[in-house]
Amino acid sequence: MLWAPVQLAGASRRVSDISLYPPPVSREPLRAWHAADGPKGRRLLVADLAAERRVAALLSWHFEPGRRRPHLVTSAAVRSAVPEDVRADYLVALWLLLCVGLAIDQLTIERGQIGLVLDNAIELTPGELVSLGLVRSSTRGGYRGDYFVFEAKSR
């Protein structure tokens, strides 16, 4: 499997050579991903080069500059209707996108974590979130719903 991370939205490069249609995921994650193209939003895609540059995984988040609230993941999904072994590969690609989001946190608000509220734009099960390294948090970062965090770990 070959991966091609695509530039953050809003930057000079476009995602036009990546196939978003037919939609790679259900409506809610894709809607939240498109909505993240703004001053406080960021979005990333991973394309599967071995499968005609189809979207393998997508992630979007927002943050509030100058505040200590963690970056909040607003959509997270992997391509639907693929065999289980391919889905496992795509979950690894999504994990890499989460790592990119965490690295961006280190360059912006330096919170050391990003948050995720499990809603319709998160197309993963709680078990998949845990397998990706997210942990359920009781603090919720000021958000309602099941809240998970992906933390930077120092060794």
Which residue do the tokens 């993963």 mark? 124
What is the residue range of 61's domain?
Answer: 3-151
pTM, two decimal places: 0.85
Task: Walk along the chain (155 residues) and give the pLDDT tens digit of each residue.
Answer: 445 544 333 343 455 567 777 788 999 999 999 899 888 889 999 988 888 888 999 999 998 777 777 889 999 999 999 999 999 999 999 999 999 999 988 888 888 899 999 999 999 999 999 999 999 998 766 777 899 999 998 64
What pLDDT score does 155 carry?
A: 46
What pLDDT score does 73 carry?
A: 95
What pLDDT score does 21 carry?
A: 73
Q: State the total domains in the chain.
A: 1
* Maximal CA-CA distance, the chain: 43
DSSP assignment of 67-80 equals S-SPEEEEEEEE-S
Specify the CATH number for the domain of residue 141.
3.40.630.30
What pLDDT score does 10 carry?
A: 37
What pLDDT score does 141 carry?
A: 62
What pLDDT score does 64 carry?
A: 79
| Phi/psi at 71 (5° precision) | -55, 140
User: Do residues 91 and 131 touch, judged by C-beta distance below 8 A?
Assistant: yes
134 by Cβ neighbours in 10 Å (0-12 / 13-18 / 19+) ranks as buried
